[in-house]
Amino acid sequence: MAYPELIIVPGDKSITHRALLLAGMARGRSMIRGALTSFDARSTGRVLRQLGVEVGPLAGGRPVAVIGRGRFQAPPNALDCGNSGTTARLLLGLLAGHRFRTTVTGDRSLRRRPMRRVTEPLERMGARFSRPAADHLPIEIRGGGLSEIQWPLPVSSAQLKSALLLAGVAGHVRVAVFEPAGLSRDHTERMLAGLGFSVRTQDGWIVLDAGGPVPPFEATIPGDASSAAFLLGAGVIGRRPVSLAGVGQNPTRLGFVSVLRRMGAKIAVAHERQVLGEPVGTIHVEPGALKRTTVRAEEIAGLIDEIPLLAVLAARAEGETRFEEVGELRVKESDRLTQIADNLMALGYQATGTGNTLTVVGSDHPPRGRVVTDGDHRIAMAFAVLGTVPGARIVVDNRACVGVSFPGFFDVLAKIRGAR
């Protein structure tokens, strides 16, 4: 089967955040190419400017120059992270190592998301908060001299792990974190190692031997694997293949590919080069019938952001698909577990989200109805993909929210549909 024109997906959101933040901590000029220009990435750029960092415009196709001073400066106002949980949590880690007081806040959705998992260990390290182990934004933090820490995480989470590792960098101390349910995405470890820090994994512990000054650097951001997942999903349930170029292929980000293959999807992955210690290449998918599967607890950390997409594909698969231990979905941008189940039922499918388990019964009937996103970009994109099946009539109540992670998503999706 001949593949169509290669599609380029936006820069990786997780790597963009980390590259901007670390460049902001460097003394001197860093140059970042291929950065994501979404709402979330702009939130990170905005708070860095408030902290005394020069950050060039985040505009599509343009390199971003970042000029840091080696340390942040006390901001004149509260730091507004918008809808970006990654910005807020990683920023708290870096601020913990700075001797000034500031407030971190965000939009209504972000103010609902839990922060105690970050503030509690940071407090143990020596940071001070206006409320002990504060759990929700706005949070006032006063950083300072930090102590080393060895901390078992309550859940495997790249954001929590990264916040503590970055606190170690800013505070010049040793940090060791343990992930209880398999390793989450390891972009921070790879980037720190690439910048010369000693980072290692030992018996489930991720260890930063010592923090210290961040050198300025140049980097090109790989394409976002999570954004690619939605386009691959459209290819799986479509009529023609889809090819995506320049996609980051970090093993901790491709758990969804393993699940899709288990469900019967025909996916080919070609590694081509390394960027920032990250494998990058092309991913091809062909349309085909899907079958049920069970996504086990130990797989969840490596595909938590792709569960909305996998769930809507499960609605088109033969049999009942089960997602185990996905309670973490309840504290994302929305209660994703409830949102997925409720929206699938509203479209005529059988789905239940009970406790920490999501089950979806597949059907070949055309989905029709209204999808309530609660402003959640991944819910909007997942159900837009479901809306590409023949005979579907789905209205997504908030299309604009996809700008958080994938500006231009609906244009690319329309291009894929138009190729059929």
* 305, 335, 364, 397: the active-site residue: 305
Q: Do residues 250 and 12 make contact, with C-beta atoms less than 8 angstroms apart?
A: no
Report the distance separating Cα 119 and Cα 138, nearest Å: 12
Report the distance separating Cα 229 and Cα 236, nearest Å: 10
- Beta strand extents in 287-339 (DSSP E only): 294-295, 320-323
Q: Do residues 149 and 124 make contact, with C-beta atoms less than 8 angstroms apart?
A: yes
Report the distance separating Cα 122 and Cα 135, nearest Å: 12
Residues 348, 393, 409: CA angle, nearest 5 degrees: 110
Beta bridge partners of 200: 207
Task: Based on the residue annotation, tell me whether 305 is a catalytic residue of this protein.
Answer: yes
Report the distance separating Cα 330 and Cα 229, nearest Å: 21
Report the distance separating Cα 358 and Cα 345, nearest Å: 13
Q: Is 27 helix (H, G, I), strand (E, B) or coil?
A: strand
Bridge-based pairing of strands 101-105 and 79-80 is parallel
Q: Taking the CA atoms of the chain, what radius of gyration do you get in angstroms?
A: 21
Catalytic residue numbers read: 305
